[in-house]
Amino acid sequence: MAYFEHEGCTLHYEEYGRGEPLLLVHGLGSSAQDWEKQIPDLAARYRLIIPDVRGHGRSDKPRERYSIKGFTADLVALIEHLNLGPAHYVGLSMGGMIGFQLAVDQPQLLKSLCIVNSAPEVKVRSANDYWQWFKRWSLARVLSLATIGKALGARLFPKPEQAELRQKMAERWAKNDKRAYLASFDAIVGWGVQERLGRITCPTLVVSADRDYTPVAVKEAYVRLLPDARLVVIEDSRHATPLDQPQRFNQTLLEFITTVDTTTQDH
């Protein structure tokens, strides 16, 4: 367990293993804990750095407006604090958005980018978009986090054999700070860097669950805008792919970053 300060905020991160640095960044309402099924496989070959994003987990939850740019600035500070140089980056959902922001603003800090069940923008365009967003926004304000956690657990892990994952999801979600959760939710809506994707120079792997909230077609469309990217679809998976298909996910990720490392050494 380690901490560092950035702009008056104390941020928590965990570190495992040795080797080339590999950052794992969680999604909205989650924390470093949700990468537990990745740590043994990845730490055997890489130096894992797993932060809790501002407002989440064991990091401070300042009473202020949050933004994807702000979350990204925290990460840049962590990279500098640990003197990492270019690192491999894996981001799930909101962590993927932070990854996109980092890759367009500071491409020199990334060796590779892996985006999991995410997108380079969250824009409310149609009446249906607005309605979906308003519904989630209202529910997040009205319901307790324990209730939301239970509902999410049931939606993400619907199979009988996933009872333990459902339980964990409900318990972890309930521990969120509601105000920080809502501020993070607000940080996502309206954010986007899609028009700047051409600036991302590092090799990029986009991982999509076949049953993610956003259809695979959406990912196919933005993969075409990235200079050096490919898409892998993981079957029988929902939004939390690293938890519901850990072996497939870990193997796909390791093959990708090992190839990147080998290619870089050859040059």
Can you give the residue range of the structural domain that contains 45?
2-122+193-266
pLDDT of 125 above 70: yes
| Residues whose CB falls within 8 Å of the CB of residue 44, separated by 6 or more in sequence, listed in order | 17
Cα 86 to chain center, whole Å? 18
Task: Give the separation between CA 191 and CA 97, rounded to whole angstroms.
Answer: 9
Residue pLDDT, tens place only, 195-218: 999 999 999 999 999 999 989 999
Question: Where residue 214 sits, what CATH number does that domain have?
Answer: 3.40.50.1820
Using the predicted structure, report yes or no on whether residue 78 has a pLDDT greater than 70: yes
99: helix, strand or coil: helix
Q: What is the reported pTM? A: 0.96
With respect to residue 106, please indicate whether it lies within any of the assigned structural domains.
yes
Residue 131, domain member (yes or no):
no
Give strand ranges (E) for the chain: 2-6, 9-16, 21-25, 47-51, 87-92, 110-116, 204-209, 229-234
Per DSSP, the chain holds a count of helices (H) and strands (E) of: 10, 8
The reply to whether 162 falls in a domain is: no
206 lies in a domain? yes
Any domain includes 67? yes
193: left (phi over 0), alpha (psi -120 to 50) or beta: alpha
With respect to residue 188, please indicate whether it lies within any of the assigned structural domains.
no
Assess contact for 266 and 252: CB atoms under 8 A: no
pLDDT of residue 267: 62
Residue 94 within a domain: yes
For the segment 183-192, the average pLDDT, to the nearest whole number, is 94
pLDDT at 140 over 90: no
pLDDT of amino acid 60: 97
Report the C-alpha gap between 24 and 90 in whole angstroms: 5
Please state the domain count of the chain.
Answer: 1
Q: Say if CB 51 and CB 32 are below 8 A apart.
A: yes
Residue 143: C-alpha distances to residues 65, 86, 130, 132, 148 (Å) = 21, 41, 20, 16, 7
pLDDT band at 123 (very low <50, low <70, confident <90, very high): confident
In a domain, 151, yes or no: no
